[in-house]
């Protein structure tokens, strides 16, 4: 354990004990049957958890598992309350989505579909930049992990650059990397099935607002998607484009597809199962079958038809993420049980209401605050969770749909002014190796993305007003 981790561990414990021994506020209204002092113990445990996560005392999923266990052990929550998210529909939708994503990657379907989309674009630099970006848009709904998508598409994008005669760490090569990251990771926000964090957001929304379908999500996110991704792609091209004309051999992508051989049985079966799932998710309101049920049946189909074996099921699915999300789900409901959510509303309501009733000002201030917070707090998951849990109830009181602050938080934590700020971005850099250098090539791209993200929300405000979300 490093010195920083030891200091963080001690600070967390001290903060926990200090808060646990405090008298609860007089206006704290806890859930029926809850002892107010138990709420203070729970808050102490939560503050300790946040400190430990910020200081990276342990892996985040272990810290959160300890939090749930400690809440149950101290009586701050019952065991059923502490671990109830693991039986919820949002959780099992997430499990199904991750297994489906693992199957798509394992079967080879992801690479084949990526290449097939790229083949449809011309061999010019602009054509390939658009091809990489749009292939990411097409592929993203199929697999809920930006890192997994980048792992498949990254080497292809690098090869395309080399085939066009580009050298590593040049501006045009960095432009292809920017297209890769925009298309295969930043699109995680666009589709409910594109990221495990989308499913997590459903749990952060207050009761009565979490019944969000795949289609709902897409419609609500659409203006941000078009604006943010469109602005990023356009500015990326004009900033990073080469000074001379470049042309990719028209047979290059086709040869890559030929090398994959004929469609394999696993690819075909995965494609059928995935297509059925997406159709059922998109039409949930029409047929009434819960998306979580669709996801669990898909798991059974994949395993029963041996598209995925037991070994792949154990090794390819990100189980630590599943533990992390299951425990993180509990934070929001715990704050409500302890009366903290309503208490924060009383304290911060007078300050935040003027912002919440002025959507344009709220968007600007909120996005900037998140950007500044990310310079201090490295855990983008932690930042997103805390802001979502705190602001969603206040948004409802101000007449704003809670999806809006949650969505803003989710998109805005994805900044990478410094490479250490963003784990998916660091993973992307690692996947492409020496293709780019952050300081040398990608800082302008980071600024482009941050500005485009804010512009996307400002453009979304009139749209959200029009459809009754504001």
pLDDT of amino acid 142: 80
Whether 68 and 208 map to the same domain: the answer is no
pLDDT in tens, 336-386: 788 887 787 777 777 777 777 889 999 999 999 999 988 877 777 778 877
Q: How far apart are CA 377 and CA 390, in angstroms?
A: 17
- Residue 382 in domain: no
**Which residue do the tokens 């484009």 mark?**
241
- Looking at the fold, whether 232 and 118 belong to one and the same domain comes out as yes
In a domain, residue 404? The reply is no
Quick: pLDDT tens for 192-224.
888 877 877 877 787 778 778 889 999 999 999
Query: What pLDDT score does 302 carry?
Result: 85
Residue 290 inside a domain? The answer is: yes
Q: Using alpha carbons, select from 454, 445, 429, 359 the residue that is nearest to residue 182.
A: 445
Tell me, yes or no, whether 6 lies in a domain: yes
Provide the domain count of the chain: 2
pLDDT in tens for each of the 470 residues of the chain? Answer: 788 888 889 999 999 999 999 988 887 878 787 888 999 999 999 899 988 887 888 888 899 899 999 999 999 998 988 888 888 777 887 788 778 877 877 777 888 888 888 889 998 999 999 999 999 999 888 877 787 788 888 888 999 999 999 999 999 999 999 999 999 999 989 998 888 778 778 777 877 787 788 899 999 999 999 999 999 999 999 999 998 888 888 788 888 888 888 888 888 888 898 888 888 888 887 888 888 888 889 888 888 888 888 887 888 777 887 888 788 777 777 877 888 877 877 777 777 777 778 899 999 999 999 999 888 777 777 788 778 877 888 888 888 999 999 999 999 998 988 877 787 888 888 888 889 988 888 999 999 999 999 999 999 999 999 999 98
Cα-based distances in Å from 434 to 185, 348, 437: 19, 47, 7
70 with 129, same domain: the answer is no
Return the half-sphere exposure (C-beta side, CA atoms, 13 A cut-off) of residue 425.
23
157 and 286 in a single domain? The answer is yes
Decide if 421 contacts 378 (C-beta within 8 A): yes
Over residues 216-268, the pLDDT tens digits come to: 999 999 999 999 999 999 999 999 999 888 888 878 888 888 888 888 888 88
User: What's the distance, CA 155 to chain centroid?
Assistant: 23
CA 205 to chain CA centroid, nearest Å: 15
* DSSP, res 441: I
pLDDT value of position 396: 84
Residue 17: give the domain boundaries: 1-77
Residues 37 and 129 occupy one common structural domain: no
| One domain for residues 137 and 274 | yes
Same domain for 72 and 172?
no
Length of the chain in terms of residues written: 470
Distance of CA 223 to the CA centre of its chain: 18
C-alpha span between 71 and 337 (Å, rounded): 12
């Amino acid at each position: 354990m490093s010195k920083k981790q030891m200091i963080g561990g001690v600070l967390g414990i001290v903060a926990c004990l200090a808060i646990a021994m405090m008298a609860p506020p007089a206006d704290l209204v806890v859930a029926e049957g809850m002892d107010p002092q138990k709420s203070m113990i729970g808050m102490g445990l939560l503050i300790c958890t946040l400190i430990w996560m910020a200081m990276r005392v342990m892996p985040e999923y272990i810290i959160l598992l300890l939090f749930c266990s400690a809440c149950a052990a101290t009586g701050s929550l019952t065991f059923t309350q502490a671990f109830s998210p693991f039986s919820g529909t949002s959780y099992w939708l997430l499990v199904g989505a991750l297994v489906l994503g693992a199957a798509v990657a394992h079967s080879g379907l992801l690479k084949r579909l990526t290449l097939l989309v790229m083949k449809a674009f011309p061999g010019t630099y602009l054509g390939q930049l658009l091809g990489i970006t749009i292939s990411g848009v097409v592929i993203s709904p199929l697999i809920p992990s930006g890192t997994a998508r980048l792992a498949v598409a990254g080497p292809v994008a690098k090869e395309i650059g080399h085939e066009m005669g580009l050298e590593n760490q040049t501006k045009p090569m960095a432009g292809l990397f920017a297209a890769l990251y925009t298309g295969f990771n930043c699109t995680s926000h666009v589709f409910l099935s594109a990221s495990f964090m989308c499913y997590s957001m459903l749990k952060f929304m207050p009761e009565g607002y979490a019944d969000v379908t795949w289609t709902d999500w897409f419609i609500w996110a659409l203006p941000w998607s078009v604006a943010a991704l469109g602005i990023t792609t356009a500015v990326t091209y004009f900033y990073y484009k080469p000074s001379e004309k470049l042309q990719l051999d028209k047979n290059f992508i086709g040869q890559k597809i030929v090398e994959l051989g004929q469609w394999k049985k696993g690819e075909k079966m995965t494609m059928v199962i995935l297509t059925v799932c997406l159709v059922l998710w998109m039409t949930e309101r029409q047929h009434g079958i819960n998306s979580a049920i669709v996801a669990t049946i898909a798991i059974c189909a994949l395993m029963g038809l041996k598209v995925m074996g037991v070994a792949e099921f154990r090794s390819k699915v990100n189980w630590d993420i599943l533990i992390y999300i299951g425990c993180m789900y509990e934070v929001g409901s715990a704050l409500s049980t302890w009366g903290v959510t309503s208490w924060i509303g009383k304290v911060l309501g007078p300050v935040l209401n003027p912002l919440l009733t002025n959507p344009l000002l709220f968007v600007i201030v909120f996005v900037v605050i998140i950007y500044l917070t990310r310079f201090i707090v490295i855990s983008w998951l932690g930042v997103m969770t805390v802001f979502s849990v705190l602001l969603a109830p206040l948004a409802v009181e101000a007449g704003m749909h809670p999806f809006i602050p949650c969505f803003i938080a989710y998109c805005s934590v994805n900044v990478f002014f410094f490479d250490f700020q963003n784990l998916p971005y660091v993973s992307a850099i690692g996947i492409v190796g020496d293709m780019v250098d952050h300081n040398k090539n990608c800082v302008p791209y980071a600024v482009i993305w941050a500005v485009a993200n804010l512009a996307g929300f400002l453009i979304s405000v009139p749209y959200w007003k029009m459809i009754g979300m504001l």
